[in-house]
Each structure stands twice: as C-alpha cells, then as structure tokens.
Amino acid sequence: MPDLRTMRRYLSLSALALVISGCGAMHQVSQGLPAIEQGALNAPQTFTRLPTQRYTPDNWPQALNAQVLLPDTFDAAQRPAALIVHGGGWRNRGPEDMEGIAEQLAEQGYVTVNIEHRFAPKYRFPEQLHDLQQAMRWIHSNAERWQVDTNRIVGVGFSSGAHLISLLALASDESPLSAPYGDGHTPLAAVLAGGLPSDLLKFDDGRLVVDFIGGTRAEKPEAYALASPARQLSPQAPPFFLFHGNWDQLVPVDHATDFYQALKAQGTESELYLQRGYGHFASFLLRDSAIEAGIAFLNRQVQP
C-alpha cells in the first residue's frame, strides 16, 4: 500500500480527474451480476440517535466509543443490526466518515453501531480486530434492550474498515483469529465491504501496512497471511457484497475481483459492484448507488 504522501497526491489527482470529467463516471454492476432489484429497499423509517457510549471493558488498553442509531419502530419482532467500521489506513479518521451510511441502514430498520478502533502504529494487528470482537460482545449484551436478533448482525466497512470487518466475518471458531475474544459472539450474517484490501501480501512494503503489521512481508509473512481476508476463506464465510472503483490505484481492483472469484468458487453467495472510472477516494465519496445496491443485498440476507 502506498505511503501517506502518495495517498495525498493521489487524492488530489482523483479530485482533479473528477472536476475534468464533470463527475460523470457511471456506477455499473459487474457484467453478469444482478442490478438493484425493484423493491429491494424498504420504505425509510425514522430513527433515534443515542448518546455516544463506550463499548470496551473498563480494563481495555484504550477507551473506545460507539455511535448507536435505533429505528423508531418497536414491535414484538427483533430486528437486524449493523456493525460499521470506518477507513483511514488503520491509523486515523473516525466514525463520522460512516455516519451517512449508518443513517441509511437505520432507515432500513437496522440498529447501527458505528465504532472507533485503536490506531497503528501504537497498536498493531490483531489488536484492531480484538476491538471489533469486543464491539460484537457489546451488541450481544444490549440485544434485548435494543431488540436485536443476534443471528442477523451484518458488517459494513470501507477500505481498512472493510478489511477489519471482513476479518471479523471470517474468524470462525476454528480460526486462530477468533482467540481470545471471539467466544461465539462474532459471527456475521453478511458483509458490505468497499475498497477492500483483501490480500496484504499483494502490497509493496509501504508504510501503512508495515505500521499495521509491525514488519515487512519478509519479516512477518505469517502475520501478513493471517491478516489477509483472501487467505482466511472457509466454507463458513457469510455472503459478501463488494464495491470497488476500477481505477483504484491505492487498493487495486484485483483485490476485489480475485476475492469475489474465490468466494464464488467455494459457493459463498456474493456480488461485486464495480464503479467505472472511480479511484479509491472517489468510490467512497460518490458511493450512493453502490451503497443502495449493497443495502439491498443485505436486506435479502437478513430481512424477513
């Protein structure tokens, strides 16, 4: 993965390209895959925003908070929930980046839990994954109060957030990733992942990944493989919806296409939504059609 200077330069070039093109890039579903189904999105619901809450235990190395949105419709039925994780190269940004997506999901009837996590290089893999596992335990502990069906919790993330949520989804009880905080509280029913770095061994030894892992590929090949969702696939993988800009130079598009093909090869339900003419940052900033398609996919997995 490129270093921060390269990221900033690429962001400027992406913005310039969008201005030149008049922001006219087209969102397209990959050839041979279904477009958004008519009626797949529910009528929007209203929701309530709870005060920001700490989700980590008192003895956790860093206090971490979550923003929770509760749909206002309360009845006898339990509802799905979404654990939402922001991007930022494992080292910065925050839940505010994902607030719009959280609101879209809450309007569709999901209890949304939009979280912070610890940052590299002070904290390194797998400590960020442990944060997500604690968030899942916290959701389970609040499930009765929030009317959450714990069998219908989905994961949503972009970039490094997509990476962490995908690892969480693939950390089955048999995986070393499940220890020591999985405890059966972490299964996800489906995943919506954008700009996913699916195989860390594909990157050169750029600063972001080296800081996250704590060494180069030559120094820590086992950790790179363990931290790569594409190398942790099993038949227990949940359904995946992937979206990715086909001009992405920060996380090249083969991270999505290769991962999608591997999911399909093992029989895991999945869709790949390629955003034609978009780079990494544009694919998030101009994400509306991809997110709508992704939420429609999630609805088909977990809604009654």
DSSP the chain: ---HHHHHHHHHHHHHHHHHHTT-PPB-PPTTS--PPTT-SPPP--EEEPPPEE-S-TTSSS--EEEEEEES---SS-EEEEEEE--STTTS--GGGGHHHHHHHHHTT-EEEEE----TTTS-TTHHHHHHHHHHHHHHHTHHHHTEEEEEEEEEEETHHHHHHHHHHH--TTSGGGTTT-TT----SEEEEES----GGGS-S-HHHHHHHTS-TTT-HHHHHHT-GGGS--TTPPPEEEEEETT-SSS-THHHHHHHHHHHHTT--EEEEEETT--HHHHHHT-HHHHHHHHHHHHHHH--
- Mean pLDDT on 297-303: 95
Q: Is residue 140 part of a domain?
A: yes
Q: Give the CATH number for residue 167.
A: 3.40.50.1820
Query: Which domain does 106 fall in, by range?
Result: 4-20+51-302
- Residue 35 included in any domain: no
Determine, yes or no, domain membership for 32.
no
Residues above pLDDT 90, as percent of the chain: 80
103 is a domain residue: yes
Please check the confidence at residue 122 and state whether its pLDDT lies above 50.
yes
Indicate whether 209 belongs to any domain.
yes
> Is residue 36 a part of any domain in this protein?
no
Comparing 21-35, 98-112, 120-134, the range with the smallest average pLDDT is: 21-35
Mean pLDDT of 180-209: 93
pLDDT at 50: 98
Most confident of 8-17, 25-34, 178-187: 178-187
Number of structural domains (the chain) is 1
pLDDT of residue 75: 66
State residue 64's pLDDT score: 98
Residue 40 lies in a domain: no
Question: Is the residue at 42 inside a domain?
Answer: no
Res 282: pLDDT: 97
